[in-house]
Chains A and B, each alone.
Chain A
Amino acid sequence: MSKDQLEQLVQARWRIALALTGAMLAIYLGFFLLVAYAKGAMGTQIVPGLSWGIFLGVLVILTAWVLNGIYVRWANRYYDEAIRQLKEVRG
């Protein structure tokens, strides 16, 4: 029984990891594509001093923190606990 549980946990772990990696990659590459192909728009200022480029750049850094936070929260709360239980069952 614990074999299936491990298998399920492994799948959940990698689903989350791949989804978050994909999100980071998409956001970052999206940002780079905007920088490369929408130079004009990225130079437009939202308020004086703050261009879209700088604003989105800061946002990418903040997103990296947030995605990390989501993963750590999930892993600390759910994953670690499930692993602990699995180890107990195995003795």
Chain B
Amino acid sequence: MSGSALGQPNPTAILFFFVFIALTLGITYWAARRTRSTEEFYAAGRSISGFQNGLALAGDYMSAASFLGIAGLVALSGFDGLLYSIGFLVGWPVVMFLVAEPLRNLGKYTFADVVAYRLRQAPVRSAAAVSTLVVVTLYLIAQMVGAGNLIKLLFGLSYEWAVVLVGVVMLAYVLFGGMVATTWVQIVKAVLLLSGAFLLALLVLVRYGLNPLSLFQDAAAKYGEQVLAPGGLVANPIDTLSLGLALMLGTAGLPHILMRFYTVPDARAARTSVSWATLFIGFFYLLTFVLGFGAMTLVGRDPIRAIDKGGNMAAPLLAEALGGTAFLGFISAVAFATILAVVAGLTLSGAAALSHDLWVNVVRQGKAPEKEQLAVARIATLLLGIVAILLGIAFKGQNVAFTVGLAFAIAASGNLPAIVYSVFWRKFTTAGAVGAILVGTLSAVILIYLSPTVQVDILKHASPIFPLKNPGIVSIPLGFLAGYLFSLLSQEKEAEERYREVERRVHLGGD
């Protein structure tokens, strides 16, 4: 580890970090005064503009896994890492065409509002809450473990303290400031991340006469032409395809992303926000091409591996190589802000499933007074925050990178079929919705358990029971098939009769 300041307390990082915390807590204080109803707590009073929500969506979506993980993957395996960049982006047009506007017009706080609209509330919402909590938990595990490791490496703080710190600050945002604070934290984070990544990419390109092709050429000269070609990661074509499908279709089923469409005033603003989000996120992923190859050529593969075998420190090391300790500090603080913001968004969506879906609509059958709803929402938030901290500590030292892929697979297999059927298909029934969500979710979870990732890498068995690492290619069709078959086998007259109402509301809006 020749001369990197990584792992030692970095004054610039700590300074930027405190500025970010002070700024976001200031926002939270301001937001707390505006958070007096459930509509404000869950949906920021529907007052966020399309452009703002576009930035916030980008903030929610661009996790540390994208920034640090993909840059590292590209640095160590070249072209293959880009497949993640591309896969994570192409989900957004699907959100745009099929999900964003109907969701905004038909629902209130959670995606279960849409699925349960003309169906029986209790079973549909219970199933949706289960899949939401599974997705949120898996996503949280990856973020919390990432936070612990990252902060330990970046600031020299112990793993446990880092996890507790992230949990507590995040809870302050969500508990007091609800969706208003969470949204603005996402916006601040997105601006920081986009400008940090842009600056870093610019510094790389300046070394190559602002020509990315010279950069790629240099990478090929140093590490062989195969870095520009598909390689080992795509050894099994079916597995690659399966991963690709889950990445593309999962985005449109992620609860914390879907929830953001309720923060805008109308369907047109929902449309505008996806448009901006796709632009920002695409731009960011194009930058990862430059960051990854830049780290490969300017830092070198061996120094990157020496600090972290998975390559996660490629981007911070690149920042240090090009801008010194101060820039490393800035990029480290940005990475931290990135994790905090994603964890806040996840926690809020999990809390909405617990309180709005399970407590208010199942236990209290929709008859809870406003005051009780808000109190339960906050209790659920606190509960999830504690769970997040415990998960972070429990999974210390585990390789949990696969949990994000699994979260996408479940979102694509369980949630997306239910949403699509409920908007498009007159004959969709309660049994169909519950079937799609549970079969999709369970099959994805079971297949991951039987996959090489768990059987061979974690449990050290000689061979896996299911050959693929990514369940999507099987579990997504299973989710759709279950929704179809269960609906055919059960008839629900009322749901069919109310389809016209759904259609009107989806297109004409609620008022």
Contact = CB atoms under 8 A, between A and B. Distances in A.
A20 B140 CA distance: 32
Contacts of B318: none
B230 A21 contact: no
A62 B87 CA distance: 13
Given A49-B214, A60-B90, A71 B268 contact: no
Contact of B282 (A32, A47, A65): A65
B225 interface: yes
B248 interface: yes
A49 B282 contact: no
Contacts of B234: 35-36, 39
Interface in A10-25: 10, 13-14, 16-18, 20-21, 24-25
Report whether over half of chain B's contact residues are helix, strand or loop; otherwise say mixed: helix
Given A32-B240, A57-B86, A83-B508, A68 B229 contact: no
A69 to B, nearest CB: 8
B160 interface: no
A28 B97 contact: no
B130 to A, nearest CB: 27
A68 B94 CA distance: 9
Interface stretch (B39-47, B196-204, B271-279, B383-391): B271-279
Interface of B: 79, 82-83, 85-87, 89-90, 92-94, 96-98, 212-217, 220, 225-226, 228-231, 234, 237, 240-241, 244-245, 248, 268, 271-272, 274-275, 278-279, 282, 285-286, 289, 424, 503-504, 507-508
14 contacts: A13-B507, A24-B97, A24-B248, A28-B244, A29-B245, A51-B228, A54-B289, A57-B85, A60-B90, A61-B85, A64-B278, A64-B282, A75-B268, A86-B508
Interface of A: 6, 9-10, 13-14, 16-18, 20-21, 24-25, 28-29, 31-33, 35-37, 39-40, 42-43, 45, 47-51, 53-54, 57-58, 60-62, 64-65, 67-69, 71-72, 75-76, 80, 83, 86-87
